[in-house]
Amino acid sequence: MTTVLVTGASAGFGLAIAQRFLADGAHVIAAARRLDRLQALAEQHPGRVLPLALDVTDRPAAAAALAALPAPFAEVDVLVNNAGLALGLSPAHQADIDDWERMIATNCAGLVNVTRAIVPGMVARGRGTVINIGSIAGEVPYPGGNVYGATKAFVHQFTHNLNADLIGTGVRASCVEPGLVGGTEFSNVRFHGDDQKAASVYAGTQPLTAEDIADTVHWLASRPPHVTINAISMMPNCQSFGPLQIKRG
């Protein structure tokens, strides 16, 4: 039986990813700060979900909780580092530095905290898949993307460097880098609860869905053990790249 740890499983991609693996019969450790939501998921799948109250930015607490996983959840086969957020869309010279600090703490330090706690067990068992949720923002700069994009570039490069270290261990890492995805709390969080501004991001578009991301993550985890997919970049058809900017005069 496969055991999957999903961070940020209380909403959006993380919830869809947990549900996708549960549909396949897996055991899922559903981790996030909002425990009530995780408990609701656990009630729908008796005995197969471990709801885990986890703030990925709290390294000592995260390390303790992940070192004490009970059977049958103790041996993680698939780690999905999904917990993350964007905060604000202001230009760098006007952005809130507290927002910057929280993005770095969550998207970079938090992801590293969980990875460092889980990967040694995978190496000892000689098998495991780490799937990190990056973003198109880690590849393509856009105005206001500043620190958010930089944190996702970190996720991209950390994934590749993990594979450099893990060669020959049976453990592999992948980075999924989506563009516009609707139906999650991402933009509500980015705009600090401004629902109207959040909804305007998706107006007139057909964005990707959390289920599209969950399918991709599930596909990655189900590749044969000799296959490593380093990264997947994905966007809806309604999104593409723009030109570089030139300021004249």
Catalytic residues: 148
Smaller CB distance to ligand 8X3: residue 50 or 208? 208
- Is there binding between residue 145 and ligand NDP (CB under 6 A)? no
88 binds, among ligand NDP, ligand 8X3, none (CB under 5 to 8 A by kind): none
What distances in angstroms separate CA 9 from CA 32, 105, 124, 168, one per listed residue? Answer: 6, 18, 26, 30
- Is there binding between residue 95 and ligand NDP (CB under 6 A)? no
Nearest to 137 by CA among 196, 209, 101, 88: 88
Smaller CB distance to ligand NDP: residue 41 or 122? 41
- Is there binding between residue 135 and ligand 8X3 (CB under 6 A)? yes
The pair phi, psi for residue 157, each rounded to 5°, is: -75, -35
| Gap between the Cα atoms of 246 and 118, Å rounded | 45
- Is there binding between residue 66 and ligand NDP (CB under 6 A)? no
Question: Tokens 């966007």 correspond to what residue?
Answer: 235
| Gap between the Cα atoms of 237 and 217, Å rounded | 19
Q: Looking at residues 165 to 224 of the shown chain, list those that interact with ligand 8X3 (rule: CB under 6 A).
A: 179
Among 14, 88, 128, 145, binds ligand NDP (CB under 6 A): 14
List of residues contacting ligand 8X3 (CB under 6 A): 135-137, 145, 179
